[in-house]
């Protein structure tokens, strides 16, 4: 019985792994998926066929791609989060005021998930997209979330996801991360100083309602526009103000 359950779990793991591989590769054939997952071509084909039959994938000229059924699931997941609707007016105002891109982020399974965005007239977005899941330790929105997460949970997240070194400025030591999170918690905002991309910076602030951490908001842009007093004082004041406005909007509902 235990062996049957193990086989069932392994099969399910392979199925979802194949779906994720198709997503990560932005479309692929059987051979590429089998190589990516380290499974036999026949196994890859069986899983791909099952996912097509259940409409999670589509197949065109031998290439498998993510189907729109996944979009339906994603929209349902997003719509259940009240924060997305409540935050948009403040996000749009922040984008207009700064001219940059503004992100709303939540945490799920130890990763940051980009939930919404607002675009200023000078906005650039080198790495973010709505729905994308990213590490929390090297982005401003992520550190703002971790700063209001219990230390035991932070350590568990780090243990599970590791502290990947993306640039020379990325934090790779858990104790150093915890020290920075304490600073973030005390001052009310987090900074990303080229920790994700060289020459790219961001300022983030947590969104807390009724003592519950809901997510964070962040504004990001190129270093030449995020420097000196603007980066260290002006933008933090604007971003924390937007976070406070969102919290007040939630309180008034």
- One digit per residue, the tens of pLDDT, for the chain of length 253 reads 556 667 777 788 889 999 999 999 999 999 999 999 999 999 999 999 999 999 999 999 999 999 999 999 999 999 899 999 999 999 999 999 999 999 999 999 999 999 999 999 998 876 778 999 999 999 999 999 999 999 999 999 999 988 989 999 999 999 999 999 999 999 999 999 999 989 999 999 999 999 999 999 999 999 999 999 999 999 999 999 999 999 999 998 7
pLDDT digits (tens, 9 = 90+) for 131-154: 999 999 999 999 999 999 999 999
Helices (H), 80-136: 82-98
Q: Contact at 8 Å (CB) between 215 and 107?
A: yes
Please list the residue range(s) of the chain that carry CATH number 3.30.450.40.
81-251
Picking from 213, 197, 184, the residue whose alpha carbon sits closest to that of residue 128 is: 197
pTM: 0.87
- State the span(s) of the chain assigned CATH 1.10.10.10: 10-72
Angstrom distance (rounded) from CA 136 to CA 121: 27
**How far from each other are the two terminal CA atoms of the chain, in whole angstroms?**
51
- What's 225's DSSP letter? G
Cα–chain center distance at 245:
22
Greatest C-alpha distance within the chain: 65
Question: Using CA atoms, how far apart are residues 43 and 21, in angstroms rounded to an integer?
Answer: 14
* Cβ(66)–Cβ(57) below 8 Å: yes
CA dihedral sign, ordered 11, 16, 21, 26: positive
Q: What tokens appear for 106 in the block? A: 């939540």
CATH level 3 topology of 10-72: Arc Repressor Mutant, subunit A (1.10.10)
Listed residue (134, 80, 76) closest to 103, CA to CA:
134
221 vs 201: CA distance, rounded Å: 6
Residue 2 has what pLDDT?
52
Q: Which CATH superfamily is domain 81-251 in?
A: GAF domain (3.30.450.40)
């Amino acid at each position: 019985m235990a062996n049957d359950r193990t086989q069932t779990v392994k099969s399910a793991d392979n199925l979802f792994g194949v779906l994720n591989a198709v997503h990560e590769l932005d479309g692929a054939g059987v051979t590429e998926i089998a190589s990516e997952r380290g499974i036999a071509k026949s196994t890859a084909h069986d899983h791909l066929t099952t996912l097509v039959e259940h409409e999670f994938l589509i197949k065109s000229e031998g290439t498998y791609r993510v189907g729109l059924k996944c979009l339906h699931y994603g929209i349902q997941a997003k719509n259940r989060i009240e924060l997305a609707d409540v935050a948009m007016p403040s996000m749009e105002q922040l984008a207009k005021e700064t001219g940059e891109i503004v992100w709303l982020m939540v945490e799920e399974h130890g990763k940051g998930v980009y939930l919404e965005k607002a675009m200023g007239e000078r906005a650039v977005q080198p790495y973010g997209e709505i729905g994308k899941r990213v590490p929390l330790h090297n982005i401003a929105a992520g550190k703002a979330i971790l700063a209001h997460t219990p230390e035991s949970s932070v350590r568990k997240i780090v243990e599970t996801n590791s502290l990947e070194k993306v640039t020379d400025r990325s934090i790779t030591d858990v104790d150093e991360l915890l020290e920075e999170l304490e600073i973030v918690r005390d001052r009310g905002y987090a900074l990303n100083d080229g920790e994700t991309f060289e020459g790219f910076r961001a300022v983030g602030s947590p969104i807390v309602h009724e003592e519950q951490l809901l997510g964070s908001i962040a504004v990001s842009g190129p270093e030449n526009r995020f420097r000196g007093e603007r980066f260290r004082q002006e933008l933090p004041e604007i971003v924390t103000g937007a976070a406070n406005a969102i919290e007040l909007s939630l309180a008034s509902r």
